[in-house]
Chains A and B, each alone.
Chain A
Amino acid sequence: AQSVTQLGSHVSVSEGALVLLRCNYSSSVPPYLFWYVQYPNQGLQLLLKYTTGATLVKGINGFEAEFKKSETSFHLTKPSAHMSDAAEYFCAVAAGGYQKVTFGIGTKLQVIP
């Protein structure tokens, strides 16, 4: 079984401030972890993914995430928020076969000018 918990359904940051979106996962086998972004009225787009190897993963648009096995976490960060980062962000986990990916409930990021 696998699951994802995203802490905070809404996060507000000022433009230029650090973005931190929290994700914890549960998996009985080594997981693959993902962050997706959804802009209004669009589909989901992959930001970054962790499979194996380096635990600090860099993605598009300046985002990065660190896989911490001891904390079962995969938090998403960006040093400086832009207005264009305002969107819904989904953490997801896949473990085992058959391609089943479980998504978190999403975190809506608001960027304040």
Chain B
Amino acid sequence: DTAVSQTPKYLVTQMGNDKSIKCEQNLGHDTMYWYKQDSKKFLKIMFSYNNKELIINETVPNRFSPKSPDKAHLNLHINSLELGDSAVYFCASSQGGSSHEQYFGPGTRLTVT
């Protein structure tokens, strides 16, 4: 069974569209994250939720909105997509508490044309 899964794996869309990426973890972890990895492989944290509560919200445009319906799911909705949003988006989870070890999903490659 996949520990952290993301859908879709690839997403190609046009500028101005709205899209969502879904993430699910079956590890029983309390904390989930969204990261953006650009073309140079730089990994930047976007958001983090702990038990459905937003705990990290980095400087990210308001067009990005995370939603956590329960602690096993963290979705990312993006409005009015721009060319600069093209990247690979990774979901991750961790146990919480003193454990910072994170488990990553396979990534969603978003291409905005």
Binding site for B on A (CB under 8 A): 32, 34, 36, 38, 41-46, 49, 51, 88, 90, 94, 98-103, 105-106, 108
Inter-chain contact A43/B107, CB cutoff 8 Å: yes
Of B42, B94, B100, B107, most A-chain CB atoms within 10 Å: B100
A6 to chain B, nearest CB (A): 11
The main secondary structure of chain B at its interface with chain A is strand
Contact across chains for A88 and B104 when beta carbons are under 8 A apart: no
Q: Nearest Cβ in chain B — how far from A106, in angstroms?
A: 5
Q: Is B56 an interface residue (CB 8 A)?
A: yes
**Does A106 lie within 8 Å of B41, measured CB to CB?**
yes
The A interface is mostly helix, strand or loop, or mixed, namely: strand
CB distance from B55 to the nearest CB of A (A): 5
Which residues of B sit under 8 angstroms from A105, Cβ to Cβ? Answer: 40-42
A residues less than 8 Å from B55 (CB atoms): 98-99
In this complex, how many residues of chain B approach chain A with their Cβ under 8 Å: the count is 25
Chain A residues whose C-beta falls within 8 Å of the C-beta of B100 in the assembled complex: 32, 34, 94, 99, 101
Take A34-B100, A88-B41 as given contacts and tell me if A98 and B56 are in contact as well, using a CB distance cutoff of 8 Å: yes
Query: How distant is the Cα of A41 from the Cα of B104 in the complex, in angstroms?
Result: 13
Smallest CB separation, A58 vs chain B (Å): 15
Give the residue of A45, A49, A94, A98 whose beta carbon is less than 8 angstroms from that of B104.
A45
| Residues of the A chain whose Cβ atoms lie less than 8 Å from the Cβ of B106 | 42-43
| A46 x B101 contact (CB < 8 A) | yes
Q: Of B41, B56, B105, B107, which is within 8 A of A100 by CB?
A: B56
Q: Which residues of A contact B4 (CB under 8 A)?
A: 43
A21 to B107, CA, bound (A): 25
**B102 at interface (Cβ–Cβ under 8 A)?**
yes
Nearest 4 Cβ contacts at the A-B interface = A43-B104, A94-B100, A44-B104, A103-B43
